[in-house]
Amino acid sequence: MIRKSLALAALCCLVTASPALAAPAAPLLAHQATLELNEASSAWILTSTALVLLMTLPGLALFYGGMVRRKNVIATIAHSTAALAIVTVLWFVVGYSLSFGVSGEATNPYIGGLEALFLNGVTPTTAFAAAPGLPEFLWIAYQLTFAIITPALIAGAFAERIKFSASILFFFLWHLIVYAPICHQVWGGGWLGSWGVLDFAGGAVVHVNSGVAGLVAAIVLGQRHGFGRDNMAPHNLAFTAIGTGLLFVGWLGFNAGSAWAADAIAGVAALNTILAAAAAAIGWTAVEWFAHKRPTLLGLLSGIVAGLVGITPAAGFVDPKGAFFIGILSGPACFVGAVWLKKLLKYDDSLDAFGIHGIGGMVGAILTGVFASAAINPVSEGADVVKQIVGLLAVVAWSGIGTWVILMICKFTTGLRVTKEDEIEGLDYTQHGETIHQ
């Protein structure tokens, strides 16, 4: 009886102290509209949500897991899994509100408010104001999948040498300090989107953001032990090929789903996504073949991902001719970033998070300003290369500085790197007590 009374008292205290949990739903929050259900579009976005979630686990997990050495496969897959778990809970608690919420009656240009803390005020009859045909719960789920994959992409830069405890703290802080503000600035009514910077599906929000963070992380952590001397070739390119296929299929939900409707723009975004990926694979392989005298499967797979990244900001703004040129240019540009630039500057971006996502996202964002067509999407009428470049500079600065601060917090709390002995033995066993047997 006493235990039941204490439990009831604790529950009452929790409800009293947590108005975001206890308050009744407001009729409409500042970011909301009354739902005007579009069943066809809702079905498509529900499907797209599943496709984008597939990109992180198992898609990215296998893509990255195949490229590391055998002793670090489990640890690498654990990064994608941890990002999914941490970001999902954070998104429910505060991330969605910081990304798409509004403070008072006006939209803050840099960060959302706390009006939707714990999804307070979200009901089955509300919609996000920009997508009134979709239930807000579905909108939240779809946007969550973007928030999940972005920090998971960064893990490719610090793979094989970071403490798992540090990666957990990093994902937690990075979502709040870097992802949510940039998402709000571009997509949530903040200054970049309002000013006219175009980012259809996350060239800046996801790829440039994660790529720059990966570069900063790679520099701060330093090179892996034996970098440039030991054989660090991928242990299983079959894993990487399967992961690429899953990413490719999932990317159709990533790009075509960002039309927020089952319409003509979603159709052109889907075609552009496939075309750009194929063109980039050809572009990457042509340069690699010329430079190294032989084509590789890893190069083909990397080229496909480079094209997918490059077309992301432009998918629903350009026609297929524009998509082709974005793809054919993204492949060689990412090859330069992932191979030559890394060798020139001697930083150890383990799985080319910056070389592919950072460089590819920048190329795609700038070329969006070049190839955007009002005949495809009326929003393209305002396309401006200068605005695209300014938007990129803003994202690079916020992501770079924010990531450095977070890494310093991790360094002086959990610590960043495993010991030399643990790194040599492998993170699978030293961090997780598990191994992949021969």
The closest of 230, 235, 205, 258 to 364, measured between CA atoms, is: 205
Cβ–Cβ under 8 Å, residues 135 and 127: yes
CA dihedral defined by 392, 397, 403, 409, rounded to 10 degrees? -170
Instruction: Report which DSSP code applies to 419.
Output: P
Top pLDDT among 355 and 3 is at 355
| Cα gap 168→187, rounded to integer Å | 26
Average the pLDDT over 206-229 and give the result: 97
- Choice among 4-18, 365-379, 388-402 with the minimum mean pLDDT: 4-18
Looking at every residue in the chain, the average pLDDT score rounds to: 93
Q: Give yes or no for residue 1 having a pLDDT over 80.
A: no
Top pLDDT among 5 and 237 is at 237
Only one residue has tokens 């460089």, namely 359
- Choice among 3-17, 42-56, 91-105 with the minimum mean pLDDT: 3-17
* Percentage with pLDDT > 70 across the chain: 93
Which pLDDT score is estimated for 133?
97
Question: Each residue of 138-176: pLDDT tens digit?
Answer: 999 999 999 999 999 999 999 999 999 999 999 999 999
| Cα gap 306→215, rounded to integer Å | 16
Instruction: Quickly list H helices, 118-222.
Output: 136-158, 164-174, 180-187, 191-195, 209-221
Residue 32 parent element (H or E): strand 32-34
In words, the CATH class of domain 21-432 is mainly alpha
Provide the token pair at 269.
Answer: 């975004």
Quick check: helix, strand or coil at residue 162? Answer: strand
Instruction: Report which DSSP code applies to 260.
Output: S
